Structure 1
Amino acid sequence: MSDANPTFRAATPADVPALVELVQASYRGDSSRAGWTTEADILDGQRTDPDMVAEAVSGPGSRMLIAEDGGALVACCQLEDRGGHAYFGMFAVDPRRQGGGLGKKVLAEAERVARDEWGAKEMHMTVISVREDLIAWYVRRGYARTGQKSPFPYGDERFGLPKRDDLEFELLVKKLA
């Protein structure tokens, strides 16, 4: 099987340790530098923890979507049904597989789930505003920058240790229906 045709499934509690490892490897530390989505230059510390992932897996209105290649976890994302719109987050692709189209497939499947299974009219996400390359990737996939900003959780080490004092999130939105 190739990245062009991953299989998708909802995560279970047994997947939590592997999901934490994938998300961490995709965004933080030296392993993340193998891909283009690294946050290693702007944040140290953890990207997530087992409690946050377990809540995403089992919480009400939440689903962790897993992409597998030959049974191996290669990508994931969190979806939340927020009544009328869905929230997309905790998106991670194995850094060694980034740049080959796998992320596009995961995003398309997440949008399909939100639209077809939940009846969501829009997908919302927040992206750290200094991540211009990442924002441009989402814009190319139909997401619009709203200019609506929210503060980065400085002082909450569950979300990392900032290396800059200008971090904030920007809301991106895409119409699904």
Structure 2
Amino acid sequence: MDTALPQDADALTYRDATEADVPALVELVESAYRGDSSRAGWTTEADILDGQRTDPEGVREVIATPGSRLLIAEREGTLVACCQLEHRGDAAYFGMFAVRPGLQGGGLGRRVIAEAERLAAAGWGVREMHMTVISVRDELIAWYERRGYRRTGRTTPFPYGDERFGLPLRDDLEFELLVKDLVPPRA
């Protein structure tokens, strides 16, 4: 009897990024958020920020930082998404989330964030996932809310004047903390 499972054409594999992945990761993150290429997807920040979203040094720092990992999602060996996970006590921080623009809107991001949550809870035993989102990104925040994240109302200022985070096209930007319980709270 053949017990082999059918090959899933949409199968994703996950692995931690290495130094060799840095150029491809920078290109992926930039393509998902900045410039005209980002307009092919719905996560673009091109109308609120110009300039860079990340750079090779920033990606290398995430890869090298203890308690941090840059998770890569691949389909048939091709980089299709990534996200940062950082262990912060009882919580994990989720950031640098990018899905290739032409693949956005098809459920890939939902699968990647679910895997990131699973890995953080299983690997670090954390009870919550934290992330920060630019507060004017209503559509993106609504997407996270549908995945169980809640707005906290806690904000931090956007780093105006620090070009590593982009060149703001508006003067009302700030980050809001979103939180999701990964395991039920203790009774």
Indicate the SS of the match to 2:94.
Answer: strand
Aligned to 2:89: 83
Q: How far does the alpha carbon of each residue in 1:45-102 deviate from its partner, in whole angstroms, 9 at most, with x for none?
A: 0000111100111111110000001100000000000111000000000000000000
Residue 5 of structure 2 aligns with which residue?
none
In structure 1, how many angstroms separate the alpha carbons of the residues matched to 2:9 and 2:66? 32
Which position in structure 1 is the counterpart of 2:129?
A: 123
- How many residue pairs get aligned? The number is 176
Instruction: Quote the sequence identity (%).
Output: 74
User: Is 1:32 matched with 2:38?
Assistant: yes
- Structure 2, unpaired ranges of 5+: 1-7
Equivalent positions of 1:3-152 (< 5 A) are 3=10, 5-152=11-158
Determine the structure 2 residue equivalent to 1:162: 168
Q: Quick one: distance in 2 between partners of 1:115 and 1:173?
A: 14
5+ residue gaps, structure 1, are none
Please state whether the residue corresponding to 1:130 is helix, strand or coil.
coil
- What TM-score do you get using the length of structure 2 for normalisation? 0.93
SS in 2 for 1:41: coil
- Runs (4+) of structure 1 exceeding 2 A deviation are none
Which is higher, the Rg of structure 1 or of structure 2? Answer: 2
Q: Distance in 1 between matches of 2:78 and 2:63?
A: 18
Measured in 2, the distance between the counterparts of 1:37 and 1:2 equals 25
**Deviation at residue 2 of structure 1 after TM alignment:** 4.0
How far apart in 2 are the matches of 1:125 and 1:76? Answer: 15
